[in-house]
Structures are given as C-alpha cells and as structure tokens.
Amino acid sequence: MSVDMKKMDVHPPRPEMRPSRLSWITRIYIPMILKGMLISLREFMRKPVTIQYPEQKPKVSERFRGEHRLTKDAEGHMKCVACYMCATACPAHCINIEAQAAPPEWDGRDKIPSVFEIDMLKCIYCGYCVEACPKEAIEMTNKVPKVYQTRQEFIYGLNKLLNN
C-alpha cells in the first residue's frame, strides 16, 4: 500500500506573515499616519491608568497572594502544630520552623512552633505552603509585600505573622 506523502502533510499552508505588496493607500503613509494619530489622540483623552503608589494603593483581586498570616482557632491559639509540611513544600526554602511541646491546656496538639520565620526576600508567593498545611494554619492575605531598609526586617517572625 503506497502512502500519499502529500496527504501525510497535515499542516495547512502557512499564511503569509505580511502582504508582499502593500496597497497604495498604505504606501503613501498619510492616511495611515492620520489613523494612527487619531488612535493616540483617543488614548490622550482617556484617564491615566497610573496610580501614585505609596499614597494610593492598588486594588488587588480577592485571590491575590500577598504577605502570609498564621491563623488562630476559636480559643485564640495559633492553629499551627509545627509539622514542617509548609517548610517542606516551600520551593524557595524561605520558611524556618523550630518546634516545642505544646502547653498541656491546648488540646488536640502535641507541638507548637517556638520559631516560625518567613524570609520575605526569598519567598516567591507561590502559595504552596497554604496548600500543604493540614490545619489551615497559614494563609495569604492580600497585603502587598512591603519594603524595608535592612534584610533583617524582611524576616517575619511568629508575632508578626500571627498579627498580619
């Protein structure tokens, strides 16, 4: 059985990227220039889209992944049980957790973190830590990450994350 090579070629013929010969109305430039100038005039009349950033905050979406927050349960204790799941899932290795025994009166958990640090300079805001967490103890706010003067200030500790 012979195969028709032409039929095997499934790609449709490529459309020309641009006409080989421009029409005369394009080649005398003037009408096209006027058209372009009308377009830029229309943009000129519209409102600027720039916002004055530090004074004016941008409107971000509901699902925006901003700075992290550690959540609390109904008793006001932090939900985190220091299981290291978020630190393991983190592709940027920006989470540093040190565990300690939970106080006996906190029920339902053996451990809580004594140190919970996120290096905001390393974080890529991917949200994998939120996905990995079995206790829904970490979530992302829609606060735009801030700017500081020293590297140390970018490392958010337990208190800052709980109150974020």
Partner 1 sequence: MISMVLTLLRNPLVLAVIKMFVAIGVVMSAVPMLVWLERKLSARFQRRIGPNRVGPMGLLQSIADAIKLMWKEDFFPRNTDRLIFLAAPIMAFLPGIISFSLIPVGQAEGAEWLGPNGVMAVSYLEMGLLVMMAVSSLASYGLAFGGWASNSQYPLLGGIRSSAQLISYEIVMGMAVIALAMKSGTLNLSEIATQQQGWYLPHWNLFLQPLTFLLFLIAAFAETNRAPFDLPEAEQELVGGYHTEYTGMRYAWFMLGEYAGLWTMCSVIATLFLGGWTLPAAWMGWVGHFPWFVAALISFGIFIAKVVALVFFFMWVRWTLPRFRWDQLMKLGWTILIPLALANILITALLMEYGGLYVR
Interface positions with partner 1 (CB under 8 A): 30, 33, 36-37, 39-41, 43-44, 46-50, 52
Nearest to 82 by CA among 135, 45, 120: 135
In DSSP terms, 68 is beta-bridged to 140
Cβ proximity to partner 1, 36 vs 134, nearer residue: 36
Q: Rounded to the nearest whole angstrom, what is the least distance from the CB of residue 54 to partner 1 in the complex?
A: 12
Record the tokens describing residue 78, joined without a space.
Answer: 């932090």
Cβ proximity to partner 1, 33 vs 60, nearer residue: 33
CA dist., res. 16 & res. 38, Å (int): 28
Q: Rounded to the nearest whole angstrom, what is the least distance from the CB of residue 27 to partner 1 in the complex?
A: 10
Q: Rounded to the nearest whole angstrom, what is the least distance from the CB of residue 49 to partner 1 in the complex?
A: 5
Q: Rounded to the nearest whole angstrom, what is the least distance from the CB of residue 145 to partner 1 in the complex?
A: 24
Cβ proximity to partner 1, 40 vs 149, nearer residue: 40
Record the tokens describing residue 105, joined without a space.
Answer: 């009166």
Cβ proximity to partner 1, 2 vs 20, nearer residue: 20
CA dist., res. 140 & res. 126, Å (int): 10
CA dist., res. 162 & res. 159, Å (int): 5
Sign of the torsion angle spanned by Cα atoms 11, 17, 20, 24: positive
Cβ proximity to partner 1, 10 vs 49, nearer residue: 49
DSSP code, position 103: P
Phi, psi of 96 (to 5 degrees): -120, 120
Q: Rounded to the nearest whole angstrom, what is the least distance from the CB of residue 7 to partner 1 in the complex?
A: 43
